[in-house]
Amino acid sequence: MAIQILMPALSPTMEEGTLAKWHVAEGDTVESGAILAEIETDKATMEFEAVDEGVIGKILVPEGSEGVKVNTAIAVLLEEGEDTSAAEAIASVPTSAPSKPVAAAPETAPPAPVAASAPSSGARVFATPLARRIAADRGIDLATIAGSGPHGRIIKADVENANATAPAAAPKPAPLASSATAESIKAMYQDREYEEISLNGMRKTIAARLTEAKQTIPHFYLRRSVHLDKLMQLRAQLNEGLAESGVKISVNDFIIKASARALQDIPAANVVWAEDRLLQLTPSDVAVAVAIEGGLFTPVLRDSDTKSLSALSAEMKDLAGRARDRKLAPHEYQGGSFAISNLGMMGIENFDAVINPPHGSILAVGAGVKKPVIADDGSVQTAIVMSMTLSVDHRAIDGALGAEFLARIAFYLENPLAMLA
């Protein structure tokens, strides 16, 4: 029976995407797990796998097509022996009620699971290849799981949360009314020369999320400076010892480690806001902002408190490199309770960062600058001073708690051997 292949939702925010490249052509035979196409989302270019086997009967959306809506039919898959007339017939069927999906969405954190009864014994269960592997490893019967993917397909998160209930998703804030429109703004500059630049998916997502953050999160800011002389001396010694391995630890790696240890020391600050409750995380999952062309990613270094500086350095370089190539999977830039935004390497001495919801806080890090300081004996000396600003969600973290958390980060940065103990 011919079935439609639908444009998948490859991220929680995706409403449309670009069909960048087909890896199959009409008449090709495909197997389950084969790569069908590459899809550009608002965050990355991702591969799109087949769930069923069959023959590509008709490609409905050519590669390079932009603005393809999620759940739009993009191709038709035929069973062995079916002719192209079946493809023509199924291609005309509205995609709002397709017979069954063909390709697997990537393993993203899903919306609230769709209620569904377990398939009867012997019935085929639709699940992504990764979900099947995880279920097999854990001895979980897929027939007992309600899938939350398109049309009830079981994805990774369904298997991992088989015995857990996810918190309800936060409602999206209503957009603010604006007296200005694109046309009225353009009219202001009608006598000036300008270039009109269309917003790509990433820039639209950044705009929406940061607008949501400033509209709905009551930010407050805590500022503190730290002396980095001991840290810089230790960094030089470590890098000298690691020279043959090719590992080079950065100041940012120390900041990640110090923050991870501080989250363990002040667990009440290791929280995310979940609308009607707080989720206090056990591990230190630290997100780090990475600038890329046209936007930014915040890849998450999970269990940062348990990793060495050299391991954090290697992982951060890998995540940053793949972020710039837009090759991160959604689970690599989603999650965490806390983020770091470091503009010190760009010469910025201090700034305020916007919280990335649902995180409870974000640390803005400036450049380390040599400055005159007053020593304990009253003499004037020089020290490398770095400014930090902690932006805090007041719904989740109060002022005294935020100050305690920032003080703990500062302690580790000024006493770097303590974070290695």
Tell which wins on pLDDT, 109 or 380: 380
Backbone angles phi, psi at 78, to 5 degrees: -105, 150
- Asked whether residue 131 falls in the same domain as residue 212, the answer is no
Per the DSSP assignment, residues forming a β-bridge with 382 are 372
- Name the H helices within 198-303: 201-216, 229-241, 251-265
Domain annotation covers residue 195: no
* Residue 185 falls inside a structural domain: no
DSSP 288-319: E-EEETTEEE--EETTGGGS-HHHHHHHHHHH
Asked if residue 19 is part of any domain, the answer here is yes
Predicted local confidence at residue 230, as pLDDT = 96
Q: Which residues form the domain of 20?
A: 3-160
**The total number of structural domains that make up the chain:** 2
Domain final residue, candidates 160, 185, 214: 160
Transcribe 116-148 into DSSP letters: -PPPPTT----B-HHHHHHHHHHT--GGG----
DSSP annotation string for 359-409: BSEEEEEEEEEEEEEE-TTS-EEEEEEEEEEEEEETTTS-HHHHHHHHHHH
Residue 169 domain-assigned (yes or no): no
Q: Is residue 387 part of a domain?
A: yes
394 is catalytic: yes
Average pLDDT over residues 244-257: 94
DSSP label of 332: H
Q: Are residues 121 and 264 in the same domain?
A: no
Residues 136 and 215 in one domain: no
What's the mean pLDDT in 155-160? 79
Q: Is the pTM above the cut of 0.85?
A: no
Is residue 184 assigned to a domain? no
Exposed, middle or buried: residue 74 (CB in 10 Å: 0-12, 13-18, 19+)? buried
- pLDDT band of 137, cuts 50, 70, 90: confident
| pLDDT score at 305 | 95
Instruction: Provide the CATH number for the domain around residue 77.
Output: 2.40.50.100
Domain annotation covers residue 172: no
What CA–CA distance (Å, rounded) separates 101 from 110?
17
Domain assignment present for residue 153? The answer is yes
What does the pLDDT average to over 255-274? 97
pLDDT higher for 362 or 94? 362
Amino acid letter, 231: L
Best mean pLDDT range from 141-150, 200-209, 367-376: 367-376
The average confidence (pLDDT) of the chain is 84
- Whether 335 and 222 share a structural domain: yes
- 281 and 395 in a single domain? The answer is yes
- pLDDT class for 168, splitting at 50, 70, 90? very low
Q: Final residue of a domain: which of 133, 160, 187?
A: 160
- pLDDT tens sequence across 219-228: 999 999 999 9
Q: Which of 23, 151, 331, 394 is catalytic?
A: 394
pLDDT at 60 over 80: yes
Judgement on whether residues 283 and 374 belong to the same structural domain of the protein = yes
CATH classification at residue 370: 3.30.559.10
Among the listed ranges 50-54, 184-188, 236-240, 375-379, which one has the minimum average pLDDT value? 50-54
Same domain, 276 and 155: no
Read off the pLDDT of each residue in 261-268 and give the average, rounded to a whole number.
Answer: 98
